[in-house]
A = this chain, B = another copy of it.
Amino acid sequence: MKHRKKEKKVNFSPGTIKRLSLYLRKLKKIHNDDINIISSNTITRLLNVTSDQFRKDLSYFGEFGKRGVGYNVALLLREIENILGINQEWKIALVGTGKLGSALLGFEGFSKLNLKITCGFDNQKDKIGNRIGGVKINDIKDLSKIVKKQNIKIAIIATPPEVAQDVARQLVKIGIKGILNFAPVSLNVSKNIVVSNVDMATELENLIFFVKRRL
């Protein structure tokens, strides 16, 4: 029974996974401060979350912490990394190396997450062959060849909106399973492909709507 409980897979909310990412980020900071064992009360205070929420988020994946003892920070860190799947390195292909794409190629935060953009793609001749942040920009025509050779499963779309859907279609066709989409369009892809949208325009419009009501 106990074992079953540890293995249970329920429909947790997507919010749970995003909160695990935030817990991870803060736990790393706590760990860097040389704190090894931490009480449930202290951890939820530092994480700025209710203890109910914290326990619920973790409960989907097993049992962590010991009643009366608290949490081992290093162990909890490793467990959350395992849950998220970032205990292994993930290669990422980036399509579209304009201003935003170039900034992403130079973004140093990815390596901390065991994420590595290993190849960039563009269709503009003057960009192809260049390196940005050490990453080579390839001809979009070589997308299939390079992505398959490197066995890449995750891609970032940072293209103009007009071509994003076509790029997504190509990516799915060659085996990409997850897309981080920066283009301000909603992509039509089959249900088994995971798409996260980072849409600054929408975020800003959302912000303005709520700010306007507060002025």
Contact = CB atoms under 8 A, between A and B. Distances in A.
Interface string A8-33: 00000010011011101100000000
Interface in A178-200: 178-180, 184-186, 188, 192, 194, 196, 198-200
B17 A206 contact: yes
Contacts of A75: none
Contacts of A163: none
A19 to B, nearest CB: 9
A99 B106 contact: yes
Nearest to A179: B207
B106 A18 contact: no
A206 B210 CA distance: 26
Instruction: Give the interface residue-count category, chain A.
Output: 35 or more
A214 interface: yes
Contact of A204 (B24, B113, B215): B113
B84 A201 contact: no
Interface in A79-114: 83-86, 90, 92, 99-100, 102-104, 106-107, 109-110, 112-113
Given A194-B214, A198-B200, A206 B103 contact: no
A180, A192, A210 interface centre (most CB from chain B within 10 Å): A210
Given A208-B90, A211-B194, A186 B48 contact: yes
A170 interface: no
Given A17-B205, A186-B48, A194-B210, A200 B84 contact: no
Given A103-B99, A204-B180, A215-B153, A17 B209 contact: yes
A204 B94 CA distance: 13
* A22, A99, A104, A201 — most chain B CB neighbours (10 Å): A201
A200 B180 contact: yes
Given A25-B185, A214-B192, A18 B202 contact: yes
Contact of A196 (B106, B178, B203): B203
A24 B198 CA distance: 17
A136 interface: no
